[in-house]
Amino acid sequence: MLAHFTHAKPYVLKNKFRLSRLHTLRTKEDSRWPGWDVVIGIEVHAQIKSRTKLFSSTLTSDPHDPPNTHVSPFDAAFPGTLPHLNPKCVELGIRTAIALNSQVQRRSAFDRKHYFYADLPSGYQITQQYAPFAKGGSLKLSKEDVSVRVKQIQLEQDTGKSTFHPRQQFTAIDLNRAGTGLMEIVSEPDMRSPEEAGDYVRTLQSMLRCVGSSDGNMEQGSLRCDVNVSVNQRGSGFGTRCEIKNLNSVRFMMIAITSEIRRQINLLQSGLPVMQETLGFDEARAETYPLRSKEDAPDYRYMPDPNIPPLLLDEVYIADIRQRMPELPAATRTRLQSLGLTSRDIDVLMDVDSGREVGFDGELRPGAVAYFDSVTNDRDPKVVVNWITHELLGQLAFRKETFSDNPMTTEQMGELIDMVQEKKITGTSGKEILRHILTTRTAKPPSELAKELNMLAVSDDNVLERWCSAAISALPQEAEKVHKGNANAVNRLVGYVMKASKGTANAQAVKTALLEMLR
């Protein structure tokens, strides 16, 4: 897409006062480029995680699929074929729009953008140039209190892939990706540093993953960014922007922006103008390089697509999607905070969720937060989150497994926590049972497992006393120290009892008993 946010347009000028105020309020002097302000806008192309393509019933593909195995006559632009809009793509687009607080348009339409390229079989891309399906909106960044406005979201087709083989001097074309649905999410030029740009893309990624509309994987190419950068001296108006195309990792995007900021500042400092250009990024040299100038910009000859009727979305349909929306990351965070969870625990749970695999067609797979919610029910949230983050996730990590491999049901976890809380088993036994479930993947309830494994807590005073006496006889020096008032020395005696009881003794009760006996 061509950039929609040329800074010279009256539309932007209208907002300039508010923008610059917001800008001045926010910008701290950046020690990397003192006296300069940086303005960044980003166009994100996110592949829609639908089972079939945007306008055909061909299954979408994976980058590992053999080339040209997901291609129908329509995808290869055979004569006589016609597009058929996939409603799942529309639904996922609407979910994204709702998540970004964007206004879903009651009427939108599809246009053709023309250019000749081997991976564009029909010679045009179907997109939404004149009437995108969602307008406006914003995304709150995670790090600082910054909100980036969204200009519009449009649905469009992805292209195929062409790979040039220099040795044989030919280009191989793979149409697997051709016609897959994309959401183009266009931001306003609201970011002021490479870090904010990185934060925007990462926050957007987890948002898309949360609502299930895209897996947002930059390395695999399911999320791609075009970045517009301009610089200006503090206090003067926006500078001329340059667009950096096809960045495919957040890290490289930030490096590219930094390098581009320096290039533009260097130009201006030596009295040269910044020319409006489209740039590529050389990852090896960490530099941008010109692709084409403004004069060479192609004329895409946009035309309303005469085959596809306008997309009319009624309120009931949108409301229904809103109803079935998953909880958004910000709301989840607020809710978990109100339950008394620490930021660290919340981060752990939410990181697990943003790393899970995104299902097709918006199918929502329960993640760690849902697991937490389900176990908590009327249990103590802090206790539950400890069991999940420390024990369950810890053990899974130790076993090099992910949360999606977790065999322990929420019922098992709930009962286990209850048994420990009610002192039916000790904490040590609880952890042992958890490990047992992960190893054997048993579906048996923890109560049954505790019995089988002889782990029911021993609270019988006679038995405890017998173990304590044995400990005192076995470690007479420690017993003597305790007797003389060194309370810390009791720990080795407790340890001895715990070992003897195979963890079934309640450590606190043992400690009390030992201190009593040695007083």
Partner 1 sequence: MYATCRQWREPLHLLARCRHLHAINSTLDTRNASINAVVHPARISPSVREPASLLYDFSVAVKDNICTSSMPTTCSSAILKDFMSPFDATVVKLLQNNGADIIGKTNCDEFGMGSENKYSVYGPVVHPHQPPNSDVPWENRERRSAGGSSGGSAAAVAAGLCRAALATDTGGSTRLPAAYCGVAGFKPSYGIISRWGVVSYADSLDCVGIVTEDVDDAGKLFGVLSAHDPKDPSAARPETRAQASAHCQYHLQQISGADDFSGLRIGIPQEYFPEEMDRSMHAPLRRILDNLMSRGATVLPVSLPSTPYALSAYYVISSAEASSNMARYDGIRYGSYAPPPLGSDKMKTANVYAHTRSQGFGPEVQKRILLGTYALSADAFDNYFLQAQRVRRLIKADFDRVFAVPNVLSSGETPEDGVHVLLHPSAIRTAPPLDEGQNADLGAYVQDVLTVPASLAGLPALSVPAGLGEDGWPVGISVVGQWGCDEMVLNVGRMVEHARSL
Residues that bind partner 1 (CB under 8 A): 73, 76-85, 112, 114, 116-118, 121-124, 169, 173, 299, 301-303, 306-309
As a whole number of angstroms, the distance between CA 76 and CA 394 comes to 49
Helices marked H in 270-354: 315-323, 329-338, 343-354
Cα angle value 9/149/20 (rounded, 5°) = 60
**Measured from the CB atom, is 177 or 263 closer to partner 1?**
177
Number of H helices, E strands in the chain: 18, 17
> Smallest gap, in angstroms, from Cβ of residue 2 to partner 1?
11
293: how many CB neighbours lie within 10 A of its CB? 11
- Residues ≥6 apart with Cβ < 8 Å to 255: 194, 286
**Measured from the CB atom, is 86 or 206 closer to partner 1?**
86
> Smallest gap, in angstroms, from Cβ of residue 9 to partner 1?
16
**Measured from the CB atom, is 290 or 359 closer to partner 1?**
290
Q: Give 483: exposed, middle or buried? Use CB within 10 Å, 0-12, 13-18, 19+.
A: middle
> Smallest gap, in angstroms, from Cβ of residue 293 to partner 1?
17
> Smallest gap, in angstroms, from Cβ of residue 163 to partner 1?
14
> Smallest gap, in angstroms, from Cβ of residue 82 to partner 1?
6
**Measured from the CB atom, is 11 or 78 closer to partner 1?**
78
As a whole number of angstroms, the distance between CA 468 and CA 429 comes to 19
Contact 1, 153 (CB under 8 A): no
As a whole number of angstroms, the distance between CA 331 and CA 310 comes to 34
Nearest residue to 242 (alpha-carbon basis) of 197, 195, 294? 294
Contact 115, 298 (CB under 8 A): yes
> Smallest gap, in angstroms, from Cβ of residue 287 to partner 1?
22
> Smallest gap, in angstroms, from Cβ of residue 61 to partner 1?
17
**Measured from the CB atom, is 78 or 289 closer to partner 1?**
78
**Measured from the CB atom, is 255 or 311 closer to partner 1?**
311
As a whole number of angstroms, the distance between CA 230 and CA 138 comes to 21
**Measured from the CB atom, is 36 or 124 closer to partner 1?**
124
Q: How far is CA 342 from the centre of its chain?
A: 20
**Measured from the CB atom, is 306 or 476 closer to partner 1?**
306
> Smallest gap, in angstroms, from Cβ of residue 33 to partner 1?
36
> Smallest gap, in angstroms, from Cβ of residue 110 to partner 1?
10
Q: Which run of H or of E encompasses 186?
A: strand 181-187
| Residue entry with tokens 């450590």 | 507
> Smallest gap, in angstroms, from Cβ of residue 79 to partner 1?
4
**Measured from the CB atom, is 75 or 415 closer to partner 1?**
75
As a whole number of angstroms, the distance between CA 477 and CA 497 comes to 16
As a whole number of angstroms, the distance between CA 347 and CA 24 comes to 31
> Smallest gap, in angstroms, from Cβ of residue 175 to partner 1?
8
Contact 355, 402 (CB under 8 A): yes
Contact 75, 58 (CB under 8 A): yes
**Measured from the CB atom, is 120 or 197 closer to partner 1?**
120
**Measured from the CB atom, is 178 or 388 closer to partner 1?**
178
**Measured from the CB atom, is 9 or 14 closer to partner 1?**
9
Q: What are phi and psi of 38, to 5 degrees?
A: -120, 135
Q: What are phi and psi of 495, to 5 degrees?
A: -55, -40
As a whole number of angstroms, the distance between CA 86 and CA 300 comes to 25
> Smallest gap, in angstroms, from Cβ of residue 97 to partner 1?
23
Cα angle value 212/217/218 (rounded, 5°) = 145
Contact 358, 370 (CB under 8 A): no
Q: What are phi and psi of 320, to 5 degrees?
A: -65, -40
Beta bridge partners of 46: 183, 223
